[in-house]
Amino acid sequence: MNLPGNLAKSSLLASVIFWIIIWSKEFEMNMMPFVLLSYIPIFLCVLIVIVASICPFFWSAKNEIYTKAQVFKMCFPYYTCITFGLCCYGIITSDYDLYFSAFCISAYITTNQSWVWFAKENTNTNSHDNPKQLINCEQHVTIEK
């Protein structure tokens, strides 16, 4: 699992989404230094969220016979529905506060995209590391055919 690469991409994506939403309402050139500085707390938030809520799915499947694509197909729908519900609840209870809404929206989109990045890196690397997964992957392809 390429966690550092995923974290770098996710935190960049989260920063972009977060600031685009805020700039849509209030934009000042003086905010720029804060935008650059905000990458640090955003990176920390992304790190905590991804390591605590997405990685366990892939780590737990490492010793099983499931490929990452299968983990994605099995767990992602439930994950995305729950996070969507939580983000909507947070936005509504914060009375549509701009900063909190931007945080929730960027968190939702980033976590979804992070799932895709984790799942996509699977086919070329992990299945070769784990022969069980390779067998399972081949079986999966045969069934699909």
Partner 1 sequence: MKQLAIIITSLLFSILFYDRSIGLNLSIFSLITIAFLVFYNPIKFKNKTILLHTFAYVLTAIFVFINHSYLSVIANCAAFFTLVGTVSETSSSIYVQWFNGIYTTIAGIIQRNFDKNEDTQKVNWKKDIDLAHWAKLIGIPLVFVIVFILLYKNGNPIFNDLISQINFDFINIQWVLFTVLGYYLFNNISKPIQVEPATSLDLKTENELYKSDHFSEEKLKKEKQLGTTLLGLLNLLLVFYIITDVMSLSSIETTKASELSNHVHSGINTLIASIIIAIGIILYFFRGNLNFYAENRTLKNIAFSWIILNIILIILITIKNQIYITSFGLTYKRIGVHIYILLTFIGLVTTFLKVLKIKNLAFLFRRNTQIAFVVLIVCSMINWDATITKYNLTKAKAYDVDYLIKLTDRNAVILYNLKDNIVISQENKNRIETKYNNYMLHLSQRDWQEFNYEIVANLEKLDKTKD
Binding stretches for partner 1 (CB under 8 A): 20-21, 23-25, 27, 29, 32-33, 36, 69, 72-74, 76-77, 80-81, 84, 112-113, 115-116, 119-120, 123-124
Shortest spacing between CB 55 and partner 1, in angstroms: 18
Shortest spacing between CB 125 and partner 1, in angstroms: 12
Shortest spacing between CB 117 and partner 1, in angstroms: 11
Q: Which residue, 1 or 69, is less far from partner 1 as judged by CB? A: 69
Q: Which residue, 46 or 102, is less far from partner 1 as judged by CB? A: 102
Other CB atoms closer than 10 Å to residue 69's CB: what's the count? 17
Shortest spacing between CB 89 and partner 1, in angstroms: 14
Could you give the CA distance from residue 134 to residue 74 in angstroms, rounded to a whole number? 18
User: Which is it for the CA torsion 4, 108, 79, 49, positive or negative?
Assistant: positive
Burial class for 134, CB neighbours closer than 10 Å (0-12, 13-18, 19+): middle
Q: Which residue, 29 or 52, is less far from partner 1 as judged by CB? A: 29
Which distant-in-sequence residues (6+ apart) come within 8 Å of 17 by Cβ?
Answer: 102, 105, 106, 109, 110
